[in-house]
Amino acid sequence: MLSAEMQKLKQQNYFPIPNAVFDLELTDGEILVYAFLLRCEDRRTYQCHPSYTTIGRAIGKSVNSVRKYVQGLTQKGLITTEHTQIVTKSGETRNGTLLYTILPIQQVMDRQFERQMTLAMIENRKQEIQEKLRK
């Protein structure tokens, strides 16, 4: 049996990725960025703030690619981003890194299900109208 200290250390070296991520039609780059953000997140606030450069180095992608993947994750409702500001030692205010908030995966899955149901209903209605027009 592992000591409590060993178990704590073991837990710190891992982070979970929800299985549902693989059902959301994410690109490989979006999955990589999402996984990195999960690794960085504060598990109490669900937030983190790595720079595009830091993310890019970690996943082996360019800053422009990271930007594109972050936009994709935002559009798909997995994360939100907020601009931050920093104050330099000389007192100047500058743009900081983005603050990422990882949203609950169940919300994302529920929204995707609702979209799919809406599309199915629209398609069903189109077929009903086409059938009526044929008669």
The predicted model gives 15-31 an average pLDDT of 89
HSE-CB for 25 with a 13 A CA cutoff:
7
pTM of the model: 0.74
Say yes or no to pLDDT of 21 above 80.
yes
Q: What is the 3-state secondary structure (H, E, C) of 24-69?
A: CCCCHHHHHHHHHHHHHCECCCCEECCCHHHHHHHHCCCHHHHHHH
User: What integer pLDDT is reported at residue 8 of this predicted model?
Assistant: 62
Other Cβ atoms less than 10 A from the Cβ of 81: the count is 15
Q: Is the pLDDT of residue 10 over 70?
A: no
Structure tokens that stand for 73 in this block: 């994750």
CATH topology of domain 16-103: Arc Repressor Mutant, subunit A (1.10.10)
Judging by DSSP bridges, how do beta strands 79-82 and 85-87 pair with one another? unpaired
HEC states along 75-118?
Answer: HCCCEEEECCEEECCCCCEEECCCEEEECCHHHHHHHHHHHHHH
State the pLDDT at residue 42. Answer: 92
Helix 52-59, helix 63-75: angle, nearest 10: 100
The confidence score (pLDDT) of residue 28 equals 95
Token look-up 């993310």 returns 55
Instruction: Spell out the domain ranges in the chain.
Output: 16-103, 104-135
